[in-house]
Amino acid sequence: MRQAASPLHQTIQSNYIKSTTTGCTDSTKVRDGVRELVNRLLSCKHTPNGYPAVVVDQPCLLERKLNALLDRGIGAFQVVSDFDHTLSKFRHNNISVPITHGVFYASSNLPPTIKQRWEDTLEFYLPIERDLNMPDVKKAPHMVEFWNKAHDLLVQANLHQSLMKTMMQHSRIVLREHVHTFLHLLREHRVPVLVFSAGVGDIIETVLEQEDLCSDNLRVLSNFMDFDSEGILTGFRSPLVHMLNKTIRDLPELQKLCCFPDPSTLLLLGDSVADTRMVDEQHVPSEVTLKIGFLNEPGDESLALYKSIYDVVLIDDETFRVPLMILELLLCAPNPEEAKDNKPTS
């Protein structure tokens, strides 16, 4: 059951109704709710590590983008989101939540030799992946090697499809609080959702199915497994999706699965620097693309970078509270066509 609207959302909705019935869709009252939301984000408390819970580097730009999204309405709205540590939590009950690749390597069904080789692979490649100063052109070949080795090790384990399905069903992946409400509202209003991940698509779909979150409006673009006639894992389908090529522009094989009609507006959600490039201006203009980034391991250097590329940065936040507030704000605004119908004739 959908929760009752908060006083903020009721105020926004009331202002929109008043403005559209009078034909004044750009009135100060209409914008007050947006400004109030931005002010609330700016006044959020600090986290235990001393960083603010929400960082907005350019409040005026955020306000303009929110107003642009409201002007075009929910009918033009789309969502593109990363999965690992974006839709899923980074920590749950003070325990790290695995990424999708990690589900298999954490399983007791994996041979110890394969596990050790995986640990060695992580030890070598993770520092490269997390190096904020290494240029992408230098990092990219390492990331291709990293992902290919991760997949090759799983193939070498000779895992059967039924066993892998059991591993997936018993993963310790936990979705962020309010993700269910967020995705259910998007389903209800037929908003297109693209889950774009460099992880394992089979696991993502399993988690979403278990949570009753699969629907016609939601599509997963990721790395999917291939099995032979006997059910043994033989590899992963092409194209390989890794952290640095996870952009629709660089994966032409996937472009036919994506559709951004004009005029589209976009909410982009991620937890890495590369996630901001999942969709570029070729598909949706930056002025109507709102980017929210989850900074799960904050530091001065990473925060400075994140706030320069994301419109809103959420620090140590294991919830989807802020994206949900923005979605509910959009749902308060009438469809632009309805607003035209309500406008009085002169």
pLDDT at 52 over 90: yes
Q: Respond yes or no: is residue 82 known to be catalytic.
A: yes
Cβ pair 282, 140 in contact under 8 A? no
List pLDDT tens digits, range 231-289.
999 999 999 999 999 988 777 666 666 666 667 899 999 999 999 999 987 788 899 99
Cβ pair 33, 11 in contact under 8 A? yes
Lowest mean pLDDT among 244-253, 308-317, 329-338: 329-338
| Mean pLDDT (whole number) for 209-228 | 95
| Mean pLDDT (whole number) for 17-34 | 53
pLDDT score at 262: 67
Tokens read off for 112:
């110890």
Question: Is it true that domain 99-169 has CATH number 1.10.150.340?
Answer: yes
Burial track 116-154 (b if 16+ CB lie within 10 A, e otherwise): ebbeebbeebeeebeeeeeeeeebeebbeebbebbbebb
Active-site residue identified among 26, 32, 57, 84: 84
**Which CATH number does 20-90+173-342 carry?**
3.40.50.1000
Q: Respond yes or no: is residue 71 known to be catalytic.
A: no
Which helix (DSSP H) or strand (DSSP E) does residue 312 occupy? strand 312-315
| Mean pLDDT (whole number) for 36-54 | 90
Task: Indicate the pLDDT class of residue 2, thresholds 50, 70 and 90.
Answer: very low
pLDDT score at 136: 92
Tokens read off for 246:
């996870």
List pLDDT tens digits, range 172-207.
999 999 999 999 999 999 999 999 999 999 999 999
Same fold, 20-90+173-342 and 99-169: no
Cβ pair 190, 74 in contact under 8 A? no
| Mean pLDDT (whole number) for 101-128 | 93
| Residue 84 neighbours by CB under 8 Å, 6+ apart | 99, 100, 197, 198, 199, 271
pLDDT score at 323: 97
Q: Where are the alpha helices (DSSP H) in the chain?
A: 7-21, 28-42, 59-72, 100-105, 112-129, 136-156, 161-169, 179-188, 201-210, 252-255, 300-309, 321-332, 336-342
pLDDT score at 5: 47
| Mean pLDDT (whole number) for 59-84 | 94
pLDDT at 55 over 90: yes
| Mean pLDDT (whole number) for 61-73 | 94
Q: How many residues does the chain have?
A: 346
Listed as own residue / partner, the contacts of 138-143 with beta carbons closer than 8 Å and 24 or more positions apart are 139/244, 140/244, 140/245, 143/242, 143/243, 143/244
One-letter amino acid identity for 30? Answer: V
pLDDT score at 260: 65
For the entire predicted model, the pTM comes to 0.88
Domain ranges of the chain: 20-90+173-342, 99-169
Active-site residue identified among 26, 82, 275, 280: 82
